[in-house]
A = this chain, B = another copy of it.
Amino acid sequence: MDLGALQAQITATFGARDRARGVDATFRRLVEEIGEVAKDLRGADRSALALELSDVVAWTVSVAALCGVDLDRAVARYAHGCPRCGVSPCRCPMDRPA
């Protein structure tokens, strides 16, 4: 699925609720989902983990949309390899940069 299309769909589906909730409470929901991923990493149910990881993406999209960030454009820096060293596989001397 295209990330731009996903952002448009999530904005259409949840944009009004996200705006009413506000950025801080929407970010809190993203953090909740991170917690759910942490919990599901303890178990063996990969379909439950997949669901929570998809929720992390969805709430990240909501935060981006609320802040006027085009997430598809932002993620494009990963399209051709490591954003720092510019190649794939990454050849950075340190672990993957922050």
Contact = CB atoms under 8 A, between A and B. Distances in A.
A79 B13 contact: no
A37 B36 CA distance: 18
A49 to B, nearest CB: 6
Q: Interface size for chain A: under 10, 10 to 19, 20 to 34, or 35 or more residues?
A: 35 or more
A64 B95 CA distance: 19
A46 B31 contact: no
A5 to B, nearest CB: 8
A75 B1 contact: yes
Contacts of A31: 34
B79 A6 contact: yes
Given A17-B90, A34-B31, A90-B13, A72 B1 contact: yes
Interface of A: 1-6, 9-10, 12-18, 21, 23-24, 27, 29-34, 36-38, 41, 46, 49-51, 53-58, 60, 63-64, 67-82, 88-90, 95-96, 98
